[in-house]
Every structure is written in C-alpha cells, then in structure tokens.
Structure 1
C-alpha cells in the first residue's frame, strides 16, 4: 500500500493519502487547514486519483479543506453520524478560546455529499478494504481506520485520528469529549490490536501498537486497571 503524509499548515495535523500503489485511485484522510496546494502536488507527483475523503472526526483542524477537496473532484466525504453536526457547524466542537483564534467566525463550508461510517463496517474504496472502528472519547463520533499494509512489516496500518498518538492520547476536555468513553475505546479498540500494527496518528510521528502498549503512560494505566487482582497468600 502507498501512504503519503501531508502536513497541514495549522495545528500540526497529518493528512494522509493512501492507495494500492502510485498511479492508482486513492483515498484522502483528514484534509486539514491550508492543505489543498500541498495535497494537489502529492496527487500530481504520484499520479493519484481521489475517490473519497475519510474523516476520523469532525474537528476543524481535520475537516477544514474537505469541501474544496471533495467539490473539485465530485467525490464524497465519510464521517461517523455522531460527528455529522460538527461537519455542518464545526464551532460546536470548539472552546471559546479556540473560537477567538478565528475572530468568532469560521471561513468554512461543509461538503455536499456526506456518507455515514458505521462501527465495524468494512468499506471498499480505491481497491482498498478499510475497516472502521468507532472510538469515541475525543469526540462522540471519533473513528479509526484499519487498512492492510502500509508498512515494511506485514500487518495492518491504523489511522488513529485523535484517539492515539505516540506517547499520548487525544484530549477529552472539548465539547463532546468524554474521558470514560476514551478509556473504553483504548481498552476495547486499541489494546486489542496486534503489536505489529503501525499507527499513523492525526498529529505527530508514526508509532506501533507494541511501542505504545509498552511506553505510553495512558495505555499502561488502562492496562493496569484491567489487570486481575493479585491473590493473597
């Protein structure tokens, strides 16, 4: 699988392009702020034809360019229904401080063609089989995408959005965030994955499930809480 990371101009958001190979159809994940020109360059360089945009969640740093990217090509955007309202009105996911960064106004439009993502479903796009894992906590509709390949070692690649980062996890203090739901997602959707799974997060460098299981303090705490009680003598 071909994977290219395209950094956005704000908030350090990672946009990803994935395809079976160069010169094929592709899928775009999380086109953030100021991404259009750099994304167009990557698509042209590798002769890729987008067929859809996949959104890990509805926050503006991951969705800002979804309308121009989709509109220029007549392709749909996919988002979990629980975050559809953020796609229509991203201000609902902002704190007051974040709204002030934009002067209280957001120069944003929603895409015309939006399709829902369901937990556990596998969708076929651009010759790829993409499995959707609903993992709420950062937002109510946060999802992760699992796709076979994309790394030197065999196994799946996990596009984790703002659920899991190298050494950290997504924040839960914004509107719609839920720490209990996040811990449940980490337990049920992250820690159940094989160690060899490559993690491509919404921010920061790539990592693996094995590395995070061993060193990520948040995952270690979840693991500790799940451990069976020590029996007395």
Structure 2
C-alpha cells in the first residue's frame, strides 16, 4: 500500500490518494480542482473506490461532487457533520472571500462509530478526533504505518478552533488520547503542510508541551 499527497486549491489543502497493489484507491479530502484530480487518477490508471472525508470544512469538500459523480463512488463522513456539506455557514465557506459559498450533496455513508473498517480490501481504523470540528475523524492504516489526521495535528502545530464547533481543550484531548498513543514512527498525513511523524510531534510540537 502506498499514498500520495496532492495539495489542491487556494488553501493548498492536502488531498491524499491511498493506493493498493491492485491499483484500486481511496480518495481522502478532495478539497478543490476536481478536474485536475480526475485527470491525474485517469493518467495513472488507478480505480477509486470511495471518498473519505476527515471533516466537512469547505476546503476539504469542494471537489466532492465532481469526483463522486465522475467515478460513481460513495462518500463517507462522520454523523456530527452530516448537515455541514450543504450548509455554507457550517462548512465555513460563507466566511471566506476567496471563493463562492460551497454546497455539496449529502454523504452516502455516515460514520457513527469508531473502530475497524474494511473497504474494498483497505483495512483501517477510524478514530473520532473532534476539536477542530465536532465530526473530525482520523483514519489509521496500521499495517502501512500512517494516519490521516485531517486538520487535527500538523507539523509543529494543531488545528484552528475558532470556526463553528471548534474547541481547543477537546482538540488537545483528541490528539493526546487518539494520536499520540500510536507508534512514534507512524507518519502523520495532515490536512495542510508537510508530512510528519508522531514521534517528531511528541518531541517538538510547541502546542503539545503539556503532554
């Protein structure tokens, strides 16, 4: 199994392609530039099976409908943000002047619980990691040694908590209880910025000095 980071849109939100040996893949957070993403996938001749959303902020969902409709694949989103896709006041797009308000069709599958998931041969664990937003989740691929943390944990930083439903205390608890307990060599694939590791963030992240 391998992964590829693809920054998309004005905020350079990281979309990730997680690919299996049979050339099937999962798309995580297609935030913008749907045509570019589709062309890249088609050029590589890999087959998307689903779209996983770490959360429903506008810069992570902007290309969802375009990619979903092209490949006829389902979208997965946590239940606490089920209504956010179609609501610009919740997904945050109405507060930013860089683009028009974003409205996306409802998710096909609602994530209600944490735990193991097997999707087309991809095995991973879903962690509920709220704080940046109430329905934020992280996807942990234990065998491959990486976690997709969305906007919970970044290199030397953590997610902002000043948008609807944000809570800094809750975010720090999520990071401590769900992410920092992973093996230190685990790669952290964040929603923005470079890849880091759990160990690096435990050692040097100034926001986590209390842990």
TM-score (norm 1): 0.84
Deviation at 1:32, TM superposition (A): 0.6
Partners of 1:132 and 1:107 lie apart in 2 by 26
Count matched residues. 211
Task: Work out the CA distance in 1 between the residues paired with 2:120 and 2:24.
Answer: 5
Give the CA deviation at 1:107: 4.7
Q: Which SS does the other structure have where 2:25 is aligned?
A: strand
Q: Is the 8 A contact 2:114 2:126 kept in 1?
A: yes
State the shift of 1:196 in Å.
0.8
Alignment partners' CA distance in 2, 1:95 and 1:59: 8
Q: 2:169 and 2:2 mapped to 1: Cα distance?
A: 35
Quote the offset at 1:149 in angstroms. 4.7
- Taking the aligned partners of 1:94 and 1:191, their CA distance within structure 2 comes to 28
Number of the residue aligned with 1:77: 75
RMSD value, Cα? 1.8
Contact 1:18 1:26 survives alignment (8 Å): yes
- Tell me the CA shift for residue 42 of structure 1: 2.6
In the alignment, the residues of structure 2 paired with residue 52 and residue 95 of structure 1 have an alpha-carbon distance, to the nearest angstrom, of 24
Q: Deviation at 1:189?
A: 0.7
Q: Kindly name which structure, 1 or 2, has the bigger radius of gyration based on alpha carbons.
A: 1
**TM-score normalised by L of structure 2:** 0.93
Matches within 5 A, 1:113-132: 113-132=107-126
Q: Is 2:171 aligned against 1:166?
A: no
Q: Which runs of 5+ in 1 are unaligned?
A: 151-155, 224-233
